[in-house]
Structure formats: C-alpha cells, structure tokens
Amino acid sequence: MGELLTKKFTLPQKKVSVKLVKRKGGWLPGNHEASDLFKHSYWRFVVPRRRDNGELVDPLTKSERSYFESPEAGLSLKEGDLSVHKKNDNYWKSYEIKLDKNVKQLDLSVPTDYIRYKVLLANTDTVAPSAELQFKKGTYKFMLVQEGWEVEQKAKSASSNMEAYKSFGRIMDSPTKMRDFLNVYNSSKPGTKSVPKNAKKEFLVTEVEKIITEDTSGFLSTINDEQYDTKLLIYNALIARAIGREGTDYVIEGKGTIGYNLNEVVDYMNNPANNEDVLKVKSRIENAK
C-alpha cells in the first residue's frame, strides 16, 4: 500500500480570546489587581519541553507545519524551519508570547495568531484549552475562550434563573417549605446552622433568593433532587435525634449503623425492608414537635 496522504491544513475562520483565570476566595477582594496580575506584570510563554527527555514539545501537526513553511502562509519560512529538532537557528527556542491582565484576541485565520494559539495550547499546565476547563487544574493561569462562549453562558444563566424562580414560586408562599428547603440545602454545607422554626417569611425569602443569585445550580440540584423528601426526612430525624451520629456513622438506637454517609442512609430509608425502622423514625419526629 502506498503512503497515506496527509490532509492539507487550512486556517480556521474563527477567533479566540486569551483571558486570565480568576479564582474566587483568598484574602484579597476579587476586584483587587493583586488577585490576578499587577498592572505592569505579565506572563511569558515559550514552547515547553518534554519531561521525559527535555526536548521541545512540537506545537504543530505535520500538516500545519507544512502549511506554515510554504509560500502560501506568507511567513518567509522554508521547509524544515519549524522543526523542533533543528540544531541551528531553531525558530522555537527564541519564540515567546507575553500575556498580561488584558484580554488578548487571536484571529485564527491569521497565520501568526494561529501559531500563538498552538503554542499556548502546548502549555498544558498553565493554559486551559477552553473556558469550560478553566478550573480543571489549579495551575491554570489563562484560558482560551472560543468566540460566542460568553453569549452562550449568559443565555444558559438566564434560562437557569428562570427555572430557579419558577421553582421558587412553588414554595415562597409557605414559610415551612422555604425553611425545609434551606435546611436540606444547608445540610450539605459543612458548618451551617439550622434555620430557626420562628424565622420570619421575609428572612426566608431573602435567604432563598441569595442562594438563587450566588449558587443557581446548587439551588436547582437541591430542589429538583429526586431524593429531596428522603433527605428532608433524614434532616428532621437528626434534629429529633431519631437518627444519631457517631463520628461519620449514622445510627438508629437499638439498630446500630445504617450508613456511613448521607447517600447510604437515603438508600436505607428507601429500602422497603426497613419500613418498620422508617415508621419508628417518623413517629419520633412527630413526638419531638
């Protein structure tokens, strides 16, 4: 069989933004310049080296390299100039990209911008290949954002907010339902306290709205959880001491451990074989009111 033909490379007709990854938390406010980069600071990116043998990582594919070394690309390069193995006047050894806190636009239909894009992609420890993966590694400092991503995210956020407020509408007239929701939501957050039984409606509304604003996905995952009622039952059982905690174990008096985490307790409570225990738990909750 003959040698396989390499598919000819063509520059993509799209744009990418290079943006700082901004992480929440820490001792500085998010809008402080030291929380990302100081005004005149910058990061310097070069072609990285392989960990196993110290050789330069090739940022380009064979077809990309052939294109950029051809007259068609207009870069005044000839065959072999972009080889990472070139001994003298190696193109990549002096190549660098400087990035500061300002957004950098790359037009991938422009040869020089495309090469910058591929070099940044090669820096797999410090540059996230997409906005979706920006928090995948703690070492990511910048991310490559595809054109239109922000618009798509705003549309998703608007849709999620609409869904959240629609769900909120089903409980906001009932202080009991709002308090139950807050307790189930807070029970998954270490260190949070129970909502007082005498909490006023205005306080409850404010607290639920705060969750919708700050953690829309958390609100939706809690209120739409198929095990919501069971988790509420477990929470009330813990308050009434119908279910106890011994370290990380969940226990029922006279029965022993029924689970080592919340999900195991949910499974226990949903198992028809344990109906008698569940009825006893519900009875103790009623007696505790």
Max CA-CA distance within the chain? 86
Question: How would you classify the pairing of strands 96-99 and 104-107?
Answer: unpaired
Asked whether the predicted pLDDT for residue 169 surpasses 60, the reply is yes
Tokens of 238: 């813990």
Element holding 279 (H helix, E strand): helix 275-288
Lowest mean pLDDT among 15-29, 203-217, 244-258, 262-276: 15-29
| Per-residue pLDDT, 28 | 43
**CB count, 10 Å around CB of 140?**
20
Confidence band, pLDDT 50/70/90 cuts, at residue 155: confident
The residue among 177, 174, 281 whose CA lies nearest residue 233 is 281
Instruction: Output the pTM of the full model.
Output: 0.57
Asked whether the predicted pLDDT for residue 112 surpasses 90, the reply is yes
- Output the DSSP codes for 91-126: TTTT-EEEE-SS-EEEETTSHHHHHHHHHHHH-TTT
Yes or no: say if 235 and 262 are a contact pair by the CB < 8 Å rule: no
| Per-residue pLDDT, 152 | 75
Residues of the chain with pLDDT > 90: what percent?
76
List beta partners, residue 145: 17
Yes or no: say if 59 and 119 are a contact pair by the CB < 8 Å rule: yes
Residue ranges covered by each domain of the chain: 15-147, 153-288
Type of residue at 38: F
